[in-house]
Every structure is written in structure tokens, then in C-alpha cells.
Amino acid sequence: MKNIRIGTRGSQLALWQSEFVAARLREEYPDLAVELVKIKTTGDKILDAPLAKIGDKGLFVKEIEVALLSGDVDIAVHSAKDMPTEIPAELILAAYLKRDDPSDALISRRGELLDDLPTGAVVGTSSLRRRAQLAAYRPDLKFVDLRGNVDTRLRKLDEENLDAILLSGAGLIRLGWGDRITERIKPAIVVTAVGQGLIVIETRQDNAAAREMVAFLDDAETSTCVRAERIFSDAIGGGCQVPMGAYAVLDGANLHMDAVVASVDGTRVLRDEIEGPAADAQRLALEMAGRLLDAGARDILDEIRQECE
């Protein structure tokens, strides 16, 4: 291939991530012409409603996948946490880039840590996962939906008199706003989203040239961990937006995974962890999902599905 077209959302963070991939490709292939093609997704078009009310996962990728399938772009650059566990059979996730900071980040207006926020503090977040787990940890907190690009959300922290907001730590760091982070929330309090903190490249199964071209970007450790997280997520299911998370890490030849499924209001939070040989990552992920489903996650998911209907 002498040129490659990258499909991307037009947000500041999405463009940073796509430019990062483009730079790596140009460095690896000096004669390659790289073009970024901006595509507006459903999630970008609807900004006046909570994500949970708009639809299922895929809000930020479906239109880009259509462009891939039609041949309008050769590869797509996504935040891995935006990817549904099921993608069209004609497509493949060809490379998982090395994971950056996976944590959820608290940015408070007056510099308070989570434990020091005043009783009844107002916290902005668009994530049911973050909201449910924080509500379980601090039942006194009040939550408001927070949509928009990273810079918009930071501005709303002051303009709307919020006490704090929650964002992805990796996104803030990539955009040069790491100094705004007041506290990185520990997984013991808020388990991160599946695939949080990393960039994934999607392409067509039959585009062998593109698959070979991006193969050098795939990080084996990240790939093992995130594939396990995605297997867990797929086994849990849920249909519409579900407060759930999973985070896997490698310790030598072993894989350790923390996972959570919660009710939307945070009154029921089911957590578990599992560890075993990384070679058995799929089995471990499925076992984790089975344990949480048997512990009550199935009932929580049934209730959420009924509310979505």
C-alpha cells in the first residue's frame, strides 16, 4: 500500500489518537501517504441526552465501521472502551496499542480528594459504571449527566458549579491536561471500563495489506489482557448500557482480573477477582463472568433490560 486512509471521529481526543497512529505509520513506512477521514458518529450527533438513553455500545463506532465496510477508509482508530464486543464478521481488531493509564480520574473544582468531597457534592459523569460504583462508595453524592468533548467537560466543571467530574485518565494525559487530575481512583473503588486506556485499530478481514501494515503496533501484553476483558464482557451480555467493568493485568505468566457488575443506582455492586495462567485467559474470563452471574448479576441485568424496553 502506498497510501492509507484512517477513519476517525472528529473530537479532539479522537484526532490526537489518530494522529498518533498516523505518526507511527509514517515513521515505520516513510513513503506512506496517510490521510485522516473525519466521520461523525451517532454519539457525536446527540449531545443533549444521557448515553444510557441513546442506545447500546457502538454509539461512537457504527458509522466508522460502515465506512470501513464500504471501502471509504482502510483502517479505523478507536478508543478500545468504545468498541462493542460484537463487531461485523467482515471486520477485525487488528492491533491493540500499548495500554496507557487505565484509571478513572477525579477532577475536583477545589482540589478535594474523593473522600474529602463535601456531603451531597455534585459529580458530573456520563458513565453508568462510574456513577454506580461511586454511589456505592459515597451514597451521599449527587450525580448529573456530563456529555461533550474533554475540554467541554472541564469547562462545565466551573460553569455549572459542579464539585467534581470523572474522566478517563489516559484521555486527559494525551491531551496535555494530566495536571488537572486531582486523584486517580483505585480499582478497589471503581473498576475501570473494558479496554479503557488504549487505542485499537480496526480493519477489514480481507484487507491483508492493511492488517500487515499495522501489525507492528500490536502490543502482546495489552492484547492478551484486553481480549480477556472483552470475553468477560461478552459473556456477561446486557444489551443496553450496563454498569460493568473489567481490568486485567499480567504478572509474569499469570493474568489477574478484577470485575464488577452493578445496579444503575449503585445499591447492589457485585465484585470479584480471579488469577491464573495467562495461557488460560479465555477460561478465566468466562469463569469470572459465570461467578458474577450466579452471584446475582443475572437478576441485575434482567432488571436493566426491562427498563430499556
Sign of CA dihedral 152, 154, 160, 166: positive
At how many degrees (to 10) do helices 281-292 and 220-236 cross? 30
At 107, give phi and psi (nearest 5°): -120, 110
Buried b (16+ CB within 10 A) or exposed e, 65-88: bebbeeeebbbbbbbbbbbebeee
218 annotated active-site: no
Q: Is 253 exposed, middle or buried (0-12, 13-18, 19+ CB in 10 A)?
A: exposed
In the chain, DSSP finds a helix count (H) and a strand count (E) of 11, 13
CA R_g for the chain: 19
Region class of 176: left (phi > 0), else alpha (psi between -120 and 50), else beta: left
Question: Given 48, 56, 72, 82, which residue is catalytic?
Answer: 82
Sign of CA dihedral 294, 271, 126, 171: negative
Catalytic residues: 82
